[in-house]
Amino acid sequence: MNTPVRIGAYALGLAVVFGGALGAGRAVGPAAAPPAETAHPAHAAPTGSPDAGHGGHGDTGAEQGDGAASVPPGLQISQDGYTLVPETTVFTPGEETELRFTVTGPDGRPVTAYQTQHEKKLHFIVVSRDLGEFRHLHPEEAGNGVWSVRLTLPEAGAYRAFADFAPEGGHPLTLGADLRAGGDYKPSGPLEPRRTAKVDGYTVDLAGDLVPGRSSRVTLKVSKDGKPVTDLQPYLGAYGHLVALRDGDLAYLHVHPDGEPGDGRTPSGPEVTFYAEAPSRGTYRLFLDFKHGGEVRTADFTVRAGDVPAPSEAPTGTPEPPESGAEHADDHSH
Ligand SMILES: [Cu+2]
């Protein structure tokens, strides 16, 4: 642990950016309902998703589409023989700490060969369990399968770290591990839907709905000082990187950008489009990293999925429930 480790300026820069730019996205109040879980299986995993390769893996013993195969990513610290092993899980709030970790493979040894996804071998997301804080980091390889990243947990409380990667020869996985920061913990109120984010003079508006159990299109429009931003810069192989998490258990959604820089059809703003798979009804937090003027910033949103039934899911013969309250009004406001 005393060995000096080279710290990438990139990861440090991100930590500084996020540390300064992020605020809590929570309103205090009793209004929001808890996320509603449904038994509806998350079917139709698209090609390239972590579930897509399970057909050839005898270890799960589960068919695509049943409950076992549709467990969303990020909920497990170990899956398909791969395990996330952090060396440190307890932090002091506000104190930058080196976090070293490994991913061990089916043979029990640290994985050293990874596929590159979105320009990186491993994406490391850290959120507070109340989803008010978000960090998107890129740890450095410290040798022998050890990853190292400087991390500051800003306040006391429980956090979750996600390692998003694909081992060489394997399929993509997202493993999650809990981290803790000691001290007085102040629980925040329930999440309120919010489709407009403001960060450093930028305004980002979210359009589109998350639909339980399927992939759906969401578009984020970036403007600054009231004018659309049309010269977004590529970041991680796209004009933005979106992470979506379910409130209540921090399930990590499959999200795919629509198009990429230089493909001749994807504009560099003001709109960035993604396809996201919400596994169920409930409340979700979306975090968009976008790059402009050489700096990466994060815009955060809160949306509810499933308040308005999708056409094929609407129970036949049942009348529409009456419009009641702000949640419905909000759904139609964009
Ligand atoms: Cu990343």
The model's pLDDT over 152-181, given as tens digits with 9 standing for 90+, comes to 999 999 999 999 999 999 999 999 999 999
Ligand 1 centroid, distance to 330 Cα (angstroms): 31
Q: Which pLDDT belongs to residue 311? A: 57
Ligand 1 centroid, distance to 137 Cα (angstroms): 6
Residue that wins the pLDDT comparison between 17 and 172: 172
62 C-beta neighbours (distance < 10 Å), count: 14
Looking from the CA of 147 toward its CB, the CA atoms found within 13 Å total 26
Ligand 1 centroid, distance to 124 Cα (angstroms): 6
Ligand 1 centroid, distance to 36 Cα (angstroms): 29
E runs forming strands in the chain: 78-79, 82-86, 90-91, 97-104, 122-128, 134-137, 140-143, 146-151, 157-165, 173-181, 196-199, 202-207, 214-224, 227-228, 241-246, 255-257, 271-278, 282-292, 295-305
Ligand 1 centroid, distance to 135 Cα (angstroms): 10
Confidence of residue 61 (pLDDT cuts 50, 70, 90): very low
Pairing state between β 241-246 and 282-292: antiparallel
Q: Which pLDDT belongs to residue 205? A: 98
Q: What is the pLDDT averaged over residues 238-261? A: 94
Q: Which pLDDT belongs to residue 2? A: 41
Ligand 1 centroid, distance to 136 Cα (angstroms): 6
pLDDT, tens digit (0-9, with 9 covering 90-100), for 190-219: 999 999 999 999 999 999 999 999 999 999
- Residue in the structure block whose two tokens are 């209004």: 31
Confidence of residue 73 (pLDDT cuts 50, 70, 90): very high
- Letter string b/e over residues 166-186, b meaning 16 or more CB atoms within 10 A of that residue's CB: bbeebbbbbbbbebebeeeee
- Cα 174 to chain centroid distance, Å, stands at 10
As residues whose CB is below 5 A from the ion ligand 1, the structure lists 123
Q: Which pLDDT belongs to residue 313? A: 52
Query: pLDDT over 70 for what percent of the chain?
Result: 71
Ligand 1 centroid, distance to 105 Cα (angstroms): 21
Ligand 1 centroid, distance to 241 Cα (angstroms): 8
Ligand 1 centroid, distance to 33 Cα (angstroms): 31
Confidence of residue 242 (pLDDT cuts 50, 70, 90): very high
Question: CA–CA separation, 299 vs 289, rounded Å?
Answer: 7
pLDDT, tens digit (0-9, with 9 covering 90-100), for 102-117: 999 999 999 999 999 9
Spatial contact of 284 and 246, defined as CB atoms under 8 Å apart: yes
Residue 331, pLDDT above cutoff 90: no
Ligand 1 centroid, distance to 119 Cα (angstroms): 8
* Least confident residue range of 49-63, 122-136, 175-189, 234-248: 49-63
Ligand 1 centroid, distance to 238 Cα (angstroms): 11
Q: Which pLDDT belongs to residue 307? A: 79
Q: What is the pLDDT averaged over residues 245-253? A: 97
Ligand 1 centroid, distance to 321 Cα (angstroms): 41
**In 3D, which of 249, 192, 187 has the Cα closest to residue 32?**
192
Question: CA–CA separation, 256 vs 45, rounded Å?
Answer: 12
pTM for this model (two decimals): 0.73
**In 3D, which of 329, 299, 305 has the Cα closest to residue 25?**
299
Residue 151, pLDDT above cutoff 90: yes
**In 3D, which of 72, 47, 334 has the Cα closest to residue 219?**
334
